[in-house]
Amino acid sequence: MNVKQRTPAASLTHLIIYLLAFLLLWEWLRPIPVITSTGQIGIFVLFTFAASICVYLHLPVWAGIPLLFAGSMYSLHQLFYAESFFSAAGFMETLRRFTNEIGVNTAMIAGGNFAGLTDYFRSFLLLLLLALISYLLYYWILHTRRVFFFLFCTIVYITVLDTFTLVDASQAVVRIVVIGFFLLTLLHMLRVQDEDRRTSGRTVFSPAWMYTLLVMVTIAVAVAWAAPKPEPQWADPVPAFRSFAGLESSGGGGGTVQRIGYGENDEQLGGGFVQDDGPVLEAVVDEPGYWRGESKDIYTGSGWEAERDYVPAETVNEGGEEAVDFRLFNESASGGRGTAEITMAEETDFNLLFYQGSLVDVPEASAADDAADWGREDLQFYTDVIGGRTVVESPEGESVRLTDYRFEYDTPAYPEDVLRNAGAEDPESVTDRYLQLPDDLPERVVELAEEITAETDNRYDAAKEIEQYFSANGFEYETSDVPVPEEGEDYVDQFLFETQVGYCDNYSTSMAVMLRALDIPTRWVKGFTAGEEVDQTDDGRSVYEVRNSNAHSWVEVYFPEVGWVTFEPTQGFTNYAEFESETETPDVDTDSPDIEPEMPDVPEGDDVNDQLQEGTEEESEDGLFGSGSGSGGGMTPWQLFLISIPPVLLLIYLYRSQKRLQITWYLTAYQRGWLKPTFSQGYRRLEWMLQKEGLQRRNGETIREFGERVDRELHTSAMKDLSAAYEKEVYGGSREGVSWSTYQTQWEKIIRSLLA
């Protein structure tokens, strides 16, 4: 406590050390944009820098706190608004938003809804944390003169990120080591100087220190850099830990931790994802089927993009046959009309329709936003005649979130023999669009496609061969440990020839690309699998619940005279479409046995279908995920990180204050009479406590001198009396000891000033 031997002088060395520590802290911030969706990390760095300066300058509390608060306001403003912070409007807006956010988020915290915290509030918390850390650093470095623990943590942090995420820390590690060398050495030098000052009264600072330091660090780094390094000797630990760490590497440059769900952007496929069981919708249907959201037609080598051509679904209100200008297949493949009633889950924010089969009409729908509810007659539907995406707009022309709707659709029943004999006379509009392939598609993909289909003589069989190629050739279904293609590597090529491990995006994209390579028009479809049957209505219809984890992608192949036919290349998934033929229904039977063992949680359901659907949950997907945080129930690592800060801080606090806690314990125990010491025991316990606080009887110091010194340090007078009594006890040679109770109050007095 009061053994502060020195006030951190504003010396250059101190400043340099503190700056080095700041650089170390910066290393913590650098990887954040890569592993989270945080952008503009520069603002956080600037804020931290400002906070560090405040701390270093010893600003008094009344100046420092408001300054830091203003700084965080400014940072938040920079992060979330475009207007100038310094205009009155901008400032007011910030202030208003801030108070709002605090209110909302406090309520959420109180309600335990940590996942719901807004980005704004989280950013605020992060700023708060950074300010705290900059103080902590100051304390560690310039008061206790210890930084090794922080350095160690930094290295662990960086290496863990390097191992488990996309972060490439090879430069960072070098920087940290260099900074660390300097920090440790300079701190050691400071300690030596302190020691000098105490013993000889003067400070020896030799430039030789600095030169030696520079030379040594340079040599060490240079040698380490240039020395030959063997390849890693251990297997990549990632697969081993992934499953319970739940960490994900992200989809390449996109830089988000992927979570399963239906997202908009599929330009960068690949990487694993975390499961998300957040609900999407609940549907009452006759039969299970794919929930189609849209298809995409342009394969870029790393993902899918779509061209869109929206037309207003004008006729939809009239309920005509062709109410929707997008048909998947023609009459010949229709298995009859069905209806489905959908209730979207509250957490979702989709403005597009999910439908089964070929959408015919949407007779009922309602939508809502914060301000209003709309009925069917208020809503305007637009259909993308290319990808089949159907979106909804409010009367004001803003896209809205559907809350529930009912639609009619044609169920598919593809006549197999017609498909076999369909021929290859595709309309030009189809071939123009659906045979596209990137120019740099590796030739071996095409060769593989040709090889697989060498013995087929029609489009349907070729599609079937490719569809079943994967399960027949040892491809593995896997959601978490899926590599991301490297820069310039083709997504399909990687899956087919290198990893052979993946989930629906891998399978469906590969099938689509291979079919295109064979000049078979194909497109990539995304949506959800049928979901889990959770209930049955009185009239025998089924209630299905669809979750984010049911997100899925599959393939549609064009057949002249029939239309678009659904194929399901992904292992363990069922093609819900019916193929009417004399032959067996293909995939389910063959595939399911293979798959079952792989399905992670095998459900309670008792029929094959159920199991398959469960499997589906697991696998779902990912191409489809959005950028994480917004939608759902589970927590991202980012949230976990934030939430784990308080417990960690608590632990640190407990650790740091363990002495104090012990002292408090003895104080209480003696006061309450739980422990009944003799006077000597009490005195020695006191010595022990003082020692913990840095007040120790030195060699050559008598009890009396020690007592006087303690009194001086603690500004008490009681220790002198206690010491005199103890002295008598020790040297007096009298038989009866000193009574503890006589001195207990003085004993407590000292401990209180010790704790004060």
Partner 1 sequence: MRKNETEQETVIRPQLRALVDNVEKVVVGKRREVELSLIAILSGGHVLLEDVPGVGKTMMVRAIAKSLGAEFKRIQFTPDLLPSDVTGVSIYNQKTMEFEFRRGPVMANIVLADEINRTSPKTQAALLEALEEGSVTTDGETRPLDKPFFVMATQNPIEYGGTYPLPEAQLDRFLFKFRIGYPTKAEELDVLRRVEKQHPIESLAPVMALEELLRMQEEVKDVHVADNVKQYIISIVNATRQHHHVYLGGSPRASIALMKAGQAYAYMQERSYVIPDDIKYLASFVLQHRILLNSEAKLSEMESSRIIFDILEQVHIPAENDKAQ
Which of 201/700 has CB closer to partner 1? 700
**Which residues inside 31-50 make contact with partner 1, applying CB under 8 A?**
none
Rounded distance between C-alpha atoms, residue 398 and residue 392, angstroms: 8
**Which residues inside 664-683 make contact with partner 1, applying CB under 8 A?**
680
Choices 425-433, 497-505, 598-606, 702-710 (CB under 8 A): range interacting with partner 1? 702-710
Compute the CA torsion angle 283, 285, 290, 295 (nearest 10 deg). -70
Q: How far is the CB of 689 from partner 1 (least distance, A)?
A: 16
The number of beta carbons lying within 10 Å of the beta carbon of residue 285 is: 22
**Is position 705 an interface residue for partner 1 (rule: CB under 8 A)?**
yes
Neighbouring residues of 308: CB distance < 8 A, sequence distance ≥ 6: 384, 386, 387, 389
Which of 312/737 has CB closer to partner 1? 737
**Is position 697 an interface residue for partner 1 (rule: CB under 8 A)?**
yes
Which of 342/738 has CB closer to partner 1? 738
Which of 459/685 has CB closer to partner 1? 685
Which of 610/727 has CB closer to partner 1? 727
Among 711, 756, 637, 664, smallest CA distance to 259 is for 637
**Is position 5 an interface residue for partner 1 (rule: CB under 8 A)?**
no
Q: How far is the CB of 734 from partner 1 (least distance, A)?
A: 8
Q: How far is the CB of 730 from partner 1 (least distance, A)?
A: 5
**Is position 728 an interface residue for partner 1 (rule: CB under 8 A)?**
yes
**Is position 143 an interface residue for partner 1 (rule: CB under 8 A)?**
no
Q: Quick check: 458 and 520 in contact, CB under 8 A?
A: no
Q: How far is the CB of 686 from partner 1 (least distance, A)?
A: 13
Choices 338-346, 397-405, 658-666, 700-708 (CB under 8 A): range interacting with partner 1? 700-708
Exposure of 175 by Cβ count < 10 A (0-12 exposed, 13-18 middle, 19+ buried)?
middle
Which of 433/728 has CB closer to partner 1? 728
The binder of partner 1 chosen from 270, 729, 740, 746 (CB under 8 A)? 729
Which of 476/727 has CB closer to partner 1? 727
Q: How far is the CB of 702 from partner 1 (least distance, A)?
A: 5
**Is position 711 an interface residue for partner 1 (rule: CB under 8 A)?**
no
Which of 228/700 has CB closer to partner 1? 700
Beta strands 563-567 and 551-559 are antiparallel
Instruction: Tell me how many residues contact partner 1 (CB under 8 A).
Output: 19
Neighbouring residues of 654: CB distance < 8 A, sequence distance ≥ 6: 661
DSSP 614: H
Helix (H) or strand (E) holding 180: helix 170-200
Which of 481/729 has CB closer to partner 1? 729
Which of 524/726 has CB closer to partner 1? 726
The binder of partner 1 chosen from 206, 377, 699, 715 (CB under 8 A)? 699
Q: How far is the CB of 698 from partner 1 (least distance, A)?
A: 8
What does the block give as tokens for 160?
Answer: 């863990």
Choices 56-64, 157-165, 286-294, 730-738 (CB under 8 A): range interacting with partner 1? 730-738
Helix (H) or strand (E) holding 391: strand 390-393
Compute the CA torsion angle 587, 592, 594, 600 (nearest 10 deg). 130
Neighbouring residues of 357: CB distance < 8 A, sequence distance ≥ 6: 289, 328, 338, 409, 410, 411, 412
**Is position 702 an interface residue for partner 1 (rule: CB under 8 A)?**
yes
Among 266, 388, 369, 275, smallest CA distance to 325 is for 388
Which of 254/707 has CB closer to partner 1? 707
Which of 56/726 has CB closer to partner 1? 726
Helix (H) or strand (E) holding 374: strand 373-374
Q: How far is the CB of 688 from partner 1 (least distance, A)?
A: 13
Rounded distance between C-alpha atoms, residue 681 and residue 693, angstroms: 18
Q: What is the CA radius of gyration of the chain?
A: 35
Neighbouring residues of 679: CB distance < 8 A, sequence distance ≥ 6: 725, 726, 729, 737, 738, 739, 740, 743
Choices 68-76, 176-184, 353-361, 693-701 (CB under 8 A): range interacting with partner 1? 693-701
**Is position 704 an interface residue for partner 1 (rule: CB under 8 A)?**
yes
Beta strands 542-547 and 551-559 are unpaired
Q: How far is the CB of 706 from partner 1 (least distance, A)?
A: 8
SS3 sequence, 74-107? HHHHHHHCCCCCCCHHHHHHHHHHHHHHHHHHHH
Residue type, 527: G
Q: How far is the CB of 194 from partner 1 (least distance, A)?
A: 20
Q: How far is the CB of 238 from partner 1 (least distance, A)?
A: 57
Choices 157-165, 259-267, 475-483, 723-731 (CB under 8 A): range interacting with partner 1? 723-731
Q: How far is the CB of 681 from partner 1 (least distance, A)?
A: 9
**Is position 688 an interface residue for partner 1 (rule: CB under 8 A)?**
no
The binder of partner 1 chosen from 730, 741, 742, 755 (CB under 8 A)? 730
Which of 556/721 has CB closer to partner 1? 721
**Is position 201 an interface residue for partner 1 (rule: CB under 8 A)?**
no
* φ, ψ dihedrals at 574, nearest 5°: -100, 135
What does the block give as tokens for 201?
Answer: 């009264």
Choices 44-52, 342-350, 531-539, 732-740 (CB under 8 A): range interacting with partner 1? 732-740
Rounded (10°) angle between helices 637-656 and 119-138 = 30
Rounded distance between C-alpha atoms, residue 604 and residue 208, angstroms: 74
| Sites of contact with partner 1 (CB under 8 A) | 680, 697, 699-705, 726-734, 737
